[in-house]
Structure 1
Amino acid sequence: MSTLFTKIVRGEVPAYKVAENSQFLAFLDINPNAKGHVLCIPKKEVDKLWDLEEDVYQELMRFVRAVSTALEKTVPCKRVGMAVVGLEVPHAHVHLIPLNNMKEMDFSNSVDMSKEEFEELAAAINANVEL
């Protein structure tokens, strides 16, 4: 059965995309820890990040770095935090979270954003992504 993220890749479920290439997709988390919280995923469905083939893992990290750089240019923050948790969706993914304090890494917290705020932020981050 397809994961939620695979359904996003296929276009069956909408997402606020911020970057995409032939292998990877980055989109805004709809339950963000902080404004600008992004998920980076391989398009190929693999359960755990550590199960990716070595070359795919390395390419994903290059993609993550490019998205992180765009986030820093777009969202005011002290730094961009990275987390790999993997419990909520069985599809390898990396969380990128603009941080101003440690509370923003707490996954039990979330910020509210309107559809318009998601759309504007996704477009702004995308404008700064250099793949």
Structure 2
Amino acid sequence: MATLFTRIIDGELPGRFVWADDVCVVLLTIEPITNGHAMVVPRTEVTQWLDASDELMARLVSVARRVGTAQLEEFGGERAGLLVEGYGVPHLHVHVWPTSSPADFDVHRVQRDLPAAVLDEHAARLRDRLASQGHALEVAEALELS
């Protein structure tokens, strides 16, 4: 059975995509730690990061770096957080979000029940920032997926 993320990537379920390429997609989480919190998800179902190839992990981290840079410029913060947890969905995903303190790494302190309009705005801002940084092609592909 397809994972939740595969179903989102395949268009069966809605998602707020901000990036798409032939290896991975980036979408906003519905329960962000901070504004702009996104997940880098490989198109191929891989249960956990230890099962991923070196090349796949390198690509996911490379995309996370681009997204983290855009997040800091768009939403502020001192650093970009990076987390590979993977307990919620058995499909490898790399969390990336803007941070200003170690408290921003508390994965249990998320924003719940944010209005869809707020999440849509965050996605639009992040897409615009990524496009302005030279990633318009990946953003355009992401828009085709949503």
- Hey, what does 2:52 align to over in structure 1? 52
Contact 1:27-1:40 within 8 A present in 2 as well? yes
Query: How far 1:103 moved relative to its partner?
Result: 2.1
Indicate the SS of the match to 2:95: strand
Which structure: greater helix fraction? 2
Query: How far 1:4 moved relative to its partner?
Result: 0.7
Q: Which amino acid aligns with 1:76?
A: G
- Hey, what does 1:126 align to over in structure 2? 127
Which residues of 2 match residues 52-131 of structure 1 at below 5 A? 52-112=52-112, 113-129=114-130, 130-131=134-135
Partner deviation per Cα, 1:27-48 (whole Å, 9 max, x = no partner): 1110111111111110111101
Query: How far 1:81 moved relative to its partner?
Result: 0.6
Distance 1:35 1:55 in 2: 29
Among all aligned residue pairs of Structure 1 and Structure 2, give the percentage whose two residues are the same amino acid. Answer: 30
Contact 1:97-1:105 within 8 A present in 2 as well? no
Please give the TM-score of this superposition, normalised by the length of structure 2: 0.84
Distance 1:37 1:90 in 2: 19
- Hey, what does 2:23 align to over in structure 1? 23
Distance 1:82 1:10 in 2: 25
Please give the TM-score of this superposition, normalised by the length of structure 1: 0.93
Indicate the SS of the match to 1:98: strand
Q: What is the RMSD computed on CA atoms of the aligned residues?
A: 1.3
Q: Which amino acid aligns with 2:10?
A: R
Partner deviation per Cα, 1:77-97 (whole Å, 9 max, x = no partner): 111111111111100111112
Indicate the SS of the match to 1:62: helix
Distance 1:114 1:100 in 2: 23
- Hey, what does 2:140 align to over in structure 1? none
Q: Which amino acid aligns with 2:65?
A: R
Distance 1:45 1:12 in 2: 16
Distance 2:104 2:62 in 1: 24
Query: How far 1:50 moved relative to its partner?
Result: 2.1
Gap regions ≥5 residues in structure 1: none
Gap regions ≥5 residues in structure 2: 136-146
Query: How far 1:58 moved relative to its partner?
Result: 1.4
Query: How far 1:102 moved relative to its partner?
Result: 2.0
